[in-house]
Structure 1
């Protein structure tokens, strides 16, 4: 009798824990399917989550979107997160990529944007996108920034950070 009472209490505690752990709020969105127009989508803050880092997107600055050929749209809270995610994809050249430009405050094609390496970003990588080239700030190409991200040459690296801050890199 005592064993069954204890097992019933343990079962009730486990069931309560599982039920309370279920998110009853709005659904978290990591991917939106069916974007056949391959245009950047409007993000609902705190509901859309970064596909790489699994954190909520709380503002447009430094965000990015990647659209696969089938229309699946992935969201990123940091451009560095986009680069790391992109490295794992097989169809890199077939993806449509957008980054949020800080100078025009709209999404622009990532491959034609200009980049800065010293921005304050949500995940700390330091990559900021600009639609237009700004001498001595946003004068880096997409491929150059992609390579830097894959090599770990971001603001996370203390040596790279120091060289960038001192304007020696």
Structure 2
């Protein structure tokens, strides 16, 4: 019995070592290097803090930066991104620049965006100006694809 206990105690540090090496993949937005990071699709510098977007591949944890949500949608199509439906998509709120979930954001059509797609994200519907059209992620995506570029 004593031998078994000693064996377990001797192997415990190795077990701890191997379990602590497991890579944890974050699905959260990453730090942005404003005016240095480039849009994955159009290669423009990401500088507008109220229109930036990020896509995180949940399988690998790799992050991709974009200057406009329209670039995200077209990049998914043009690059045939098979994991697009499971990707974490972050976008900055047009008024607060706070990172929000792009799939649950409310989009307006009244702001000029870096690549002129014209869809700005809002965390709350109430923050959208009166007489502006309010779109969900699916409708905004559909319109970007119809417009293309």
Q: Same fold (TM over 0.5)?
A: yes
Aligned length: 121
Q: TM-score, normalised by structure 2?
A: 0.74
Map of 2:96 onto structure 1: 104
Runs of 4+ in 1 over 4 A off after TM superposition: none
Label 1:78 to 1:35 Cα distance change in 2 as closer, same or farther (>3 A).
farther
- Output the CA distance in 1 between the equivalents of 2:24 and 2:140: 27
1:146 aligns with one of 138, 141, 148: 141
Map of 2:66 onto structure 1: 76
1:65 aligns with one of 54, 71, 82: 54
Long gaps (5+) in structure 2: 1-22
Secondary structure of 2:103's aligned partner = helix
Label 1:35 to 1:105 Cα distance change in 2 as closer, same or farther (>3 A).
farther
Secondary structure of 1:94's aligned partner = coil
- Output the CA distance in 2 between the equivalents of 1:120 and 1:35: 38
RMSD: 2.0
Secondary structure of 1:75's aligned partner = strand
Structure 1 residue 35 displacement after superposition:
8.3
Map of 1:22 onto structure 2: none
Q: Does the CA-based 8 Å contact 2:48-2:114 persist in structure 1?
A: no
Map of 2:131 onto structure 1: 136
- Output the CA distance in 1 between the equivalents of 2:43 and 2:97: 24
- Output the CA distance in 1 between the equivalents of 2:47 and 2:84: 27
Map of 2:9 onto structure 1: none
Q: TM-score, normalised by structure 1?
A: 0.66
Cα deviation per residue 1:20-66 (whole Å; 9 max; x = unaligned)? xxxxxxxxxxxxxx982211112112221000101111231211000
Ranked by relative contact order (alpha carbons within 8 Å, sequence separation 6 or more), the top structure is 2
